[in-house]
């Protein structure tokens, strides 16, 4: 997975609600939804996995952390 950086921006509350609602309709995270929109606009390849790779990696890391917690008990 490529390295990522955080970007903060100020948007109108109704736009934020619309973004979150549309992402949910598409079963995407807000980050995955906005990333797809920006990549399309810039003419860059768009991932079709809906951020699945990122979510699987996070779940694997959490699982390993839980395994470590269990072995400590």
Q: What is the pLDDT of residue 17?
A: 98
Q: What is the pLDDT of residue 49?
A: 63
Say whether pTM exceeds 0.85: no
Token output for 27 = 């079963």
DSSP state for residue 49 in the 8-state scheme? S
Q: What is the pLDDT of residue 56?
A: 77
Q: What is the pLDDT of residue 2?
A: 65
The number of angstroms, rounded, from the C-alpha of 59 to the middle of its chain's C-alpha atoms is: 13
Which of 6, 50, 56 shows the shortest CA–CA distance to 24?
50
Greatest Cα-to-Cα distance within the chain, rounded to the nearest angstrom: 51
Rounded Cα distance, 32 and 23, in Å: 8
pLDDT tens for residues 9-64? 999 999 999 999 999 998 888 998 999 999 999 999 887 665 676 677 778 888 88
Rounded Cα distance, 60 and 42, in Å: 32
């Amino acid at each position: 997975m490529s390295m990522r950086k955080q970007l903060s921006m100020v948007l109108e509350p109704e736009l934020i609600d619309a973004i979150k609602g549309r992402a949910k309709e598409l079963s995407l995270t807000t980050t995955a939804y906005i990333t797809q929109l920006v990549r399309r606009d810039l003419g860059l390849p768009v991932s079709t996995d809906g951020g699945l790779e990122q979510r699987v990696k996070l779940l694997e890391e959490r699982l390993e952390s839980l395994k470590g917690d269990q072995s400590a008990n």
